[in-house]
Amino acid sequence: RKAAAKFAPKAETFVQEKRLGTAHAVLAARDAISKGYDDILVMFGDTPLIDADALTVARLKLAEGAAVVVIGFRPPSPTGYGRLIEKDGKLTAIREEKDCSEEERKITFCNAGMMAVAGAHALALLDRVGNKNAKGEYYLTDIVEIASARGLNVVATEASFESALGINNRAELAQAEAIWQARRRHEAMLSGVTLIAPETVYFSHDTEIGTDTIVEPNVWFGPGVKIATGAKIHAFSHIEGATIASNCDVGPYARLRPGADLRNKAKVGNFCEVKQAVIEEGAKVNHLTYIGDARVGAGANIGAGTITCNYDGYSKFFTDIGEGAFVGSNSSLVAPVTIGKGGYIASGSVITQSVP
């Protein structure tokens, strides 16, 4: 419920209190189904790659008069999947492999599980599903034969194997992730992002990257990353919860943690870490540096090995570095502290009081 609310705040959630089969699960939403919607789409939480086109095609079949539409697919190996039995263009049954005849086992068109059901028939069909089977469960697939016996039109549509892929274990999860990453990389490149070695770049579901950005090999984007146009993300950088403005330069081997906010033409170089900090326009954090809970003013330069000492073991404190300031190498800025506009910190300094 919490996950759905982020993108579908008006969604209703119903809980299947007992695990009594797929038809029983759908009937947990009886209150919603009984409102008389035209189309009922039944989808599964373990098929995350299903695309809108597959669902649209199924709904078109309902519009053409079908009462039940089963979404099928053709896996590389049909072993273990229920087969879709068709006759004269209509779906007559879904047969589990263990119940298939030798001839039926040769069928490669398999059940993906997902369905579209005409709202006018949904409750009547679901209420007719019985549980006289080995597991004593109510199977959603039974509505195919129930609808056919009533003379209703039942058909199958076909989705791609990738779209219908179900996840049952961590190996299949990794397989689905690889498919999604390949899709996302392709989309990024078509939108004008340069990926030097696409197969080594990893995106999150909400990664946003502007055109003419260049991403070098082995870069990982965690959730909440927004990158404007013309940025350069160098190799082996790890970025999460960060905002990167136009023409920024990041890495190699940079780590941007949540709250990192790089303004136009800012630079965060190799082996630097930035957390909950604003790096203003043209500022440079070049080498082996930690900037946390801070502001680095426009045009400021932070020398190699500099750290903001933002945590005293109990609380976090803020460091404010003014516009055009110069902080020499191997300096420690003990927060809370302010470095004024144009301030100069000599190398190796430990700053515990504000510098004008």
User: Count of alpha carbons within 13 Å of 167, Cβ hemisphere only?
Assistant: 18
HSE (CB half, 13 Å, CA atoms) of 24? 12
**List of residues 6+ apart from 344 with CB closer than 8 A:** 325, 326, 328
Nearest by Cα to 153 from 70, 67, 58: 67
Name the 3-class secondary structure at 84. strand
Nearest to 94 by CA among 103, 102, 104: 104
Say how far apart CA 289 and CA 266 lie, in whole Å: 15
Query: Is 238 considered catalytic here?
Result: no
214/234 Cα distance (integer angstroms): 8
| Angle formed at CA 337 by CA 333 and CA 339, multiple of 5 degrees | 80
Q: How far apart are CA 192 and CA 151, in angstroms?
A: 52
Our measurement of the distance from residue 213's CA atom to the centroid of its chain's CA atoms, rounded to an integer in Å, reads: 21
- Distance (Å, whole) CA 342 – CA 323: 6
- Which of these, 67, 39, 31, lies nearest to 55 by C-alpha position? 39
Upper half-sphere CA count for residue 310 (Cβ side, 13 Å): 18
Q: State the Cα–Cα distance between residues 271 and 277, nearest whole angstrom.
A: 16
Neighbour-count burial for 23-39, b at 16+ CB within 10 Å, e otherwise = bbbbbbbeeebeeeeee
Among residues 190, 279, 289, 205, the alpha carbon closest in space to that of 242 is found at: 279
Residues noted as catalytic: 287
